[in-house]
Chain A
């Protein structure tokens, strides 16, 4: 049941990304083109996703533990640091250059486009580069609330 839930939630997420327009780089770039022919549609994606998750997250957290797991695993850090700022800035540059963020890029692999595959391979290389070259000293910051 747990494994099925991971798979089905991944598929639901991918379908939502596809329907919303996030898997079309041209659409994403038009949304980011605030000073050009701005396309506001993707603002609705964020608005709807955050609203539904805001309610769902609060409902979920009224329970002592998740339905299929022993505990909730939530990030606990609240401090702002240079890594957060620099990382978000670099991510935004890559997002603005290609029109892809990680989730939609993985979904768009199904298009069979070699360019999408190249982007995804480079993205994984970026993950590895960060995780091996800049190993985090403190490890994960995750609370276990059981």
Chain B
């Protein structure tokens, strides 16, 4: 578990490399209840103009969340967390996609609230914008 003494403005969070395959999306569909066929059916996805099956935006958001929670230690310390979905994560079969997630401390309030800026990219292209979180980091 980190404490405030571990955190400075500009502190870089350990980054995450996430392989995403179709099985991940099927599993996430079941767990989340989002069964939109664009996330598992190539025929359907291409029929609505997508290049292929795409990942749930919320799956990507959850992976970025994992970066935060594994850094801070207490998942309940994530008070605010928001993203904008800018580009779909295309998940071809069988190769899948690799999501790279990074984060950096943007500011620290006197009450120990730490604002983190996050990024998520696939093949060097940003898939989320305005990805930000506020986490509560204990003083000791």
A and B, one complex? Answer: no
Residues of chain B whose beta carbon lies under 8 Å from any beta carbon of chain A: none
Residues of chain A whose beta carbon lies under 8 Å from any beta carbon of chain B: none
